[in-house]
Chains A and B, each alone.
Chain A
Amino acid sequence: MAAEVEETLKRIQGHRGVTGTIVVNSEGIPIKTTLDNSTTVQYASLIHSLTAKARSTVRDIDPSNDLKFLRIRSRKNEIMCAPDKEFLLIVIQQDDQS
């Protein structure tokens, strides 16, 4: 089980355009990362709070609903976050055309 997940994460990291992956736990502390420390910490804290807010928004409107994933597309890259019950997976991918 764990090996499969590890493999999946490795594949994601090796995919074209992906610059980094971060696994953040429910308290906002990064567990696994492929980026350097300062960037990781920054991403983790910022995205964690944003995801919490987004989730809160979705659930406030309809409590039986839940946030599935969050995509932030900017000029230079795209940040994708998939929140889980206990974890948050963040992947940063660069635009292919750029």
Chain B
Amino acid sequence: MPPKQVKSKTAASVDRKRSKRGADGDDLTEMGDGTEQDDWMQAKTLVKPEDQLELSEAELKEEFTRILTANNPHAPQNIVRYSFKERQYKQTSSVDQLAVHFALDGNLLHKDSEEARKQFNRTGLAETKEEQAEPAAEAAATEEGGEEGASGEGKEEAGDEDAAPAPASKAGGKEKKLTNQFNFSERASQTYNNPFRDRATVTEPPPRASFSSNVTQWEIYDAYQEDFEKQEKSKEKKVIPGRKEEEKSKKKFQISETSSDDITRVETAAKIVERMVNQNTYDDIAQDFKYWEDVSDEFRDSEGTLLPLWKFSFEKAKKLAITSVCWSPKYRDLVAVSCGSYDFMKQGSGLIILWTMKNPSFPECYFETDSGVMCLDVHPQHPHWICAGFYDGSVAIFSAVDKREGAIHRCTAKNGKHTDPVWQVRWQKDDADNNMNFYSISSDGRICLWTILKNEMVYQDVIRLSLPDVSAEGPDGIKVATTGCGTAFDFHKQKDYLFLVGTEEGKVHICSKAYTSHFIDTIDAHNMAVYKVCWNRFHPKIFITCSADWTVKIWEMKDTMDKSESGDEARKPLFSFDLNNSVGDVAWAPYSSTVFAAVTSDGKAFVYDLNANKYEPLCEQMVAQKKKTKLTHVEFNPTYPIVVIGDDRGNVTSLKLSPNLRKMKAEKKGAPPVDEATKVQREIEKLEKILSMVRNQPTEATA
């Protein structure tokens, strides 16, 4: 377009507009006729804007020159760039004057270009088939050329056109059949998504228990023991099924017993604790018992003392007298005591009590009886068997182990019961049939042998004590043989068949089991009743007697040969001691053949040692607490240096012997240890020495 001159603005502009329009009449179809326009235009009056510049004619005619250049008016005329190289701003020499008015990205590809080739391959069009492609391409090109702004459509149409000839080529099926390797149609389908729902259940957690355990040596041991026992049982089961049933029933019985009664099972523990408590309370006594020795004995050669230790007293025995004391042969701390009454007028119940030194406050075990118990003996081999004789003349057997309230066996009037109190009982060795048996002696003059068969006691009269010299006159003048009253007996330690009998009249008979009515020997020992006869533990021929006539005498058993010689000279004792009061009991010491103890009715205890002093006691001590207490019995403990003394108030007192009282023959230094037999021999020799001095001139000594 030629540069148009810009003319002045007023009416001339209107004219120019007119002429311009006229030039481009091609486009203007809407406009009406030009002339009409002019007329219309001219009809208008000249309108002047109010703020139009008022210019003079000359000014109006002034021509202004306007130049059209090809410069981009928007482009900056001077661009300055900082040059790092020269470190200054430098003006760019030429400024780009290109102005882009319109830009449109096309998507025409040259058919020989890489991309075009790819597309051809994709649509399966062969390069050689340009003939078919060309018209298609031309058609595409013309269409493209016609439309200016439809870029997107063009692309699509190109693609479509490519696709269109593709099937056409396939349909043609000329040279190669090209399988479309990539002709997979992607198909997707969406399954229906099920809506999610949360469901939960809560289960109860399994019950949990915390378990912890220790493993120790003994637990393993216990487990093995249990297993071993089970095995044993299973073996037994096989062997004796019958008996097993019995045991089972018994066991069941026991189990039910123990589980029902809780407190019963504390029994052993309670017993132990009771002893412990007692040990604490009586601690000093226990210490004394074990360790105290009277030091003053060193200075007094022929004197000794008795240290009082525990006192055992039982509530129920307070009114009773101790009638017999016997140490248990097996348990060195256990002593059996019988309680009854010596008083003819006051007869009541009786007691058998088992005391232990470990518990002085309460008996281990006791049995109550209806009649006073006058004597007691503990079986040497079976220490739980106790035989007892009663004031009413019966005898009974008790078992310390059995929990029964009363006796195991008790004889009755029909069964050989004595008619007078039984004064002494003594166990014998088991007889030929292995049955236990014991002897009893009573005031009715009978000595009985009782044998215990399986379920009963059988008696047998052994001897009847008769007084051959004295006979009473019966009512018809017939002489009736009177029987003596036996009060004590003792069996020889070695010769079992030989035994001594003491009587109420003061006589001592030496008897044998073989002869039932005939005595081997008789001695007029005392003037009053003989309370105790006792063989010496070491010397086979010496025995001691004590009596109510205030004396204690030591005798020697003479051979029958000698008897004829001595004749009626009334055998004399080797030793005789006057104790100033009725002597209740006398006992030899187990450790020495020359020591013995005696107790009297005035509450005193005497200890003699013939080795030290032949005439006087080493110890004469008041033992009873209260006055007018008679001491009734005394016994030495077989192992400990203790004597136990019973009185008539039901108290049992234990005393410790001081060293002087228990002197034994001192061992020579360096000599080999002495065995039992030698000890016994020594004791015998010791006694013999003393006896030999005495035998020739027996004297009577007074205390």
Instruction: List chain A positions with a Cβ less than 8 A from chain B.
Output: 1-2, 4-6, 8-9, 11-12, 15-18, 21, 23, 31-32, 56, 59-60, 63-64, 68-69, 71, 78, 80-89, 91, 93, 95-96
Q: Cβ of B184 < 8 Å from any Cβ of A?
A: no
Who on chain B is nearest to A96 by CB? Answer: B281
- Residue among B222, B262, B270, B281 making CB contact with A8, cutoff 8 Å: B270
Interface contact B217-A63, CB-CB below 8 Å: yes
- Residue among A12, A23, A85 making CB contact with B274, cutoff 8 Å: A12
CA distance A85 to B269 in the complex (A): 10
Q: Cβ of B169 < 8 Å from any Cβ of A?
A: no
Interface contact A69-B273, CB-CB below 8 Å: yes
Interface contact B277-A60, CB-CB below 8 Å: no
A-B contact pairs, 5 of them (CB 8 A): A8-B270, A11-B362, A17-B280, A63-B221, A64-B221
Interface contact B277-A93, CB-CB below 8 Å: yes
Closest CB-CB distance, A93 to chain B, in whole Å? Answer: 5
Interface contact A69-B263, CB-CB below 8 Å: no
Interface contact A11-B218, CB-CB below 8 Å: no
Interface contact A8-B274, CB-CB below 8 Å: yes
CA distance A2 to B262 in the complex (A): 8
Closest CB-CB distance, B213 to chain A, in whole Å? Answer: 12
Chain A residues closer than 8 Å to B221, beta-carbon distance: 59, 63-64
Closest CB-CB distance, A88 to chain B, in whole Å? Answer: 7
CA distance A18 to B580 in the complex (A): 45
A sample of 20 more A-B contacts (CB under 8 A), given A5-B267, A11-B361, A11-B362, is A5-B263, A6-B263, A8-B271, A12-B270, A12-B277, A15-B361, A17-B280, A56-B218, A69-B273, A71-B276, A78-B280, A80-B276, A80-B277, A82-B269, A82-B270, A83-B269, A86-B265, A87-B265, A93-B277, A96-B281
Q: Which of B265, B266, B276, B277 has the most CB of A within 10 A?
A: B266
Interface contact B277-A4, CB-CB below 8 Å: no
Chain A residues closer than 8 Å to B278, beta-carbon distance: 15
Instruction: List chain B positions with a Cβ less than 8 A from chain A.
Output: 214, 216-218, 220-222, 261-274, 276-278, 280-281, 283, 361-362, 403
Closest CB-CB distance, A78 to chain B, in whole Å? Answer: 6
Interface contact A5-B270, CB-CB below 8 Å: yes
CA distance A71 to B266 in the complex (A): 18
CA distance A81 to B280 in the complex (A): 14
CA distance A24 to B452 in the complex (A): 45
Who on chain B is nearest to A91 by CB? Answer: B273
CA distance A21 to B274 in the complex (A): 11
Chain A residues closer than 8 Å to B273, beta-carbon distance: 12, 21, 69, 80-82, 89, 91
Chain B residues closer than 8 Å to A1, beta-carbon distance: 261, 264, 267, 403
Chain A residues closer than 8 Å to B217, beta-carbon distance: 59-60, 63
